[in-house]
Amino acid sequence: MKGAAGDDVGSFSTSLTLASPLTITGDLPATITRSAGLTLNWNGGNPSDMVEIIGNSGTTTGTGSSAVTNTSSFICITTAGQRTFTVPASILNQLPATPTGFLIVASGVTPAKFTASWKAGGSIDGYFSSFLGIGSAPAYR
C-alpha cells in the first residue's frame, strides 16, 4: 500500500501478508443449541491472524413506544492457527432463546505500521489492516 504525498503529509508505503480467507467447515449453523456449546472449525488465514466470533440475540416485549428490547452479545477471540474454537454453553446460555439472532466469524491480519512525515515538521504513525468475515442469522434455542 502506498500513499502519495498531499498538502500536509508526505508519501508512505507498507505491505500486508494476506492469506486465503477463513472457510468455515460445514458452514455456520442455522440453529444454535445454547446448552450444547458451539464448536466452529475453519481453514485458511495466517496462523497469527486474529479471529473474532461474535453472536447476539434479543427479545422485544410490548409494542410502540412501550416496546422494550433486551439483547445479549458475546465476543470470543482466538487465532486462525487454532483452526477451531468452542463457545461454551456457559456463555451461550446467557443469550435469550430467539428465532433469529446473528453470528459472525471474522479474521484480520496483524496490522502493518507505516510512518509519514508532516510537511510542517514531525511525523505520524498509522496502520493498515484487513478484516474479512462471514455472518448468519441463526435461531438460538
* In-domain check, residue 101: yes
* In-domain check, residue 12: no
pLDDT-derived band at 75 (thresholds 50, 70, 90) equals: very high
3-state secondary structure of 50: strand
Please say whether the beta carbons of 132 and 46 come within 8 A.
no
What would the pLDDT profile of 14-29 be if each residue is shown by its tens digit? 888 888 899 999 999 9
Residue 30 gets which letter from DSSP? S
* In-domain check, residue 89: yes
* In-domain check, residue 76: yes
For residues 52 and 87, what is the distance between their CA atoms, to the nearest angstrom? Answer: 11
* In-domain check, residue 7: no
Grid cell 473474532 is found at 52
* In-domain check, residue 23: yes
Query: What are the φ/ψ torsions at residue 132 (nearest 5 degrees)?
Result: -140, 140
Which pLDDT score, from 0 to 100, does residue 36 have? 97
Q: Locate all alpha helices (DSSP H) within the chain, ordered by sequence.
A: 89-92
Which pLDDT score, from 0 to 100, does residue 55 have? 98
- How many distinct helices (H) and strands (E) make up the chain? 1, 13
User: If you average pLDDT over residues 130-136, what whole number do you get?
Assistant: 93
Q: Could you list the residue range(s) of the whole structural domain that residue 26 is in?
A: 19-60+67-140
pLDDT above 90 covers what percent of the chain?
61
Q: Is the pLDDT score of 68 beyond 80?
A: no
Query: What are the φ/ψ torsions at residue 32 (nearest 5 degrees)?
Result: -115, 120
Q: Is the pLDDT score of 8 beyond 90?
A: no
* In-domain check, residue 14: no
User: If you average pLDDT over residues 113-122, what whole number do you get?
Assistant: 88
Which pLDDT score, from 0 to 100, does residue 15 have? 86
Q: Say how many domains are in the chain.
A: 1
pLDDT-derived band at 59 (thresholds 50, 70, 90) equals: confident
* In-domain check, residue 27: yes
Residue 74 identity: F
pTM of the model: 0.81
Residue 85 identity: F
CATH number for 119: 2.60.40
